[in-house]
Structure 1
Amino acid sequence: MNKKKIMSSLGDASEFLGEEFWDVINDFLPLVNPRIDIIRTDKEMTIFAELPGIQSEEDLSIRIQGRILIIAGEIKRPYIEDGQELMKDERFTGPFKRKVRLSEDCIIEKLIASYINGLLKIVIPIYSDEQNDPQQEIPVRFLENNNNTNN
């Protein structure tokens, strides 16, 4: 099913069932968090992750396990004080963990991560064709010619 057809079907369902139905459904359906975009060029792969509400380095962890990039942490709600009642709860808060499989040509050791205005940006260089598939000289072993070519 393509994206346009899905969006059209959701629009039809929303019209038929009403907005209140989707408010209730959204409370029960967990979303994958954080949401990410991945862009790839011939030189690098860039991952953008939506993480509004991260306050400090202690709230965010980026690790590599094998060829898996793991983004984990916790989004807090520091503006809710004792005695206040939360009337609508739509923003994602709490612990999160997202795994992204990295291709073999990613140079993990040169990964760079930055965070600004709620957006995490991870840039991973990619081996070029020359780096990834270097030519290798193959030595040729010369054998004595004694009519035995099985050596």
Structure 2
Amino acid sequence: MEFYPYDIKNLKEILEKNKDFLESFFGENTFDEHFFNNIFKQSPKILTSSETINQETNARTIPMDMIQRKHEVILIFEIPGLNNAEDVDIKLLGSTLVITGEIRRNYMLSDKEIIKFERKVGRFSKKVALPFIVDNKRIHAKYYKGLLEVRVPIIKPNNYEKISVRFTDE
């Protein structure tokens, strides 16, 4: 069973499966019904305050850099572990660039062999609002050494004008 850190629904099952080990480390009755009642009460707060999980798709987010040049924006996403083009999907929805995909483990393990998992695998998702009018026909992407680079040509930058605020006594 894969485990995502914010997967509250499966947390109880995982903790119960490993109860003996966890109680030997944390003490008896640490993960009792009181613990789970508090977790389920807090889960909406945990999920909405977390920036590492996308609740709709059960996917984690990915780090990104955005660089603006005169005629293009370069977005660089850190996604180590992709194997081919089927592992990532890039879409432009209106003025929002959406990156989704999945990083898979390239090996199979039994539960007895697992000691620790730290590599980030599983579903990922990122939505980026583009503050420009872009040329969607010329957007292109390349993946190299764990970095996904998406180049987005700018047709016209949005003009931001300062709007003055008038203060009145009424």
TM-score, with normalisation over the residues of structure 2?
Answer: 0.54
Conserved 8 A contact 2:134-2:156: no
Amino acid paired to 1:56:
N
TM-score, with normalisation over the residues of structure 1?
Answer: 0.60
Closer/same/farther in 2, CA of residues 107 and 51 from structure 1, 3 Å limit: same
Count of residues paired in the alignment: 104
Closer/same/farther in 2, CA of residues 30 and 88 from structure 1, 3 Å limit: farther
Indicate the RMSD between aligned Cα atoms, in angstroms: 2.6
Conserved 8 A contact 2:67-2:73: yes
Q: Which has the higher contact order (CA 8 A, sep 6+)?
A: 1
> Which residue matches 2:93?
65
Cα distance in 2 for residues equivalent to 1:85 and 1:55: 24
Match of 1:76 among 97, 104, 113: 104
- Flag structure 1 segments of 5+ consecutive residues without an equivalent: 1-27, 134-151
> Which residue matches 1:96?
124
Question: Percent identity among equivalent residues?
Answer: 33
Which structure has the larger Rg over C-alpha atoms? 1
Residue 64 (structure 1) shift: 1.1
Query: What are the within-5 Å matches in structure 2 for residues 2-151 of structure 1?
Result: 31=52, 33-82=61-110, 85-127=113-155
Conserved 8 A contact 1:42-1:128: no
- Flag structure 2 segments of 5+ consecutive residues without an equivalent: 1-45, 53-59, 160-170
Closer/same/farther in 2, CA of residues 65 and 30 from structure 1, 3 Å limit: closer
Residue 127 (structure 1) shift: 2.3
Amino acid paired to 1:64:
L
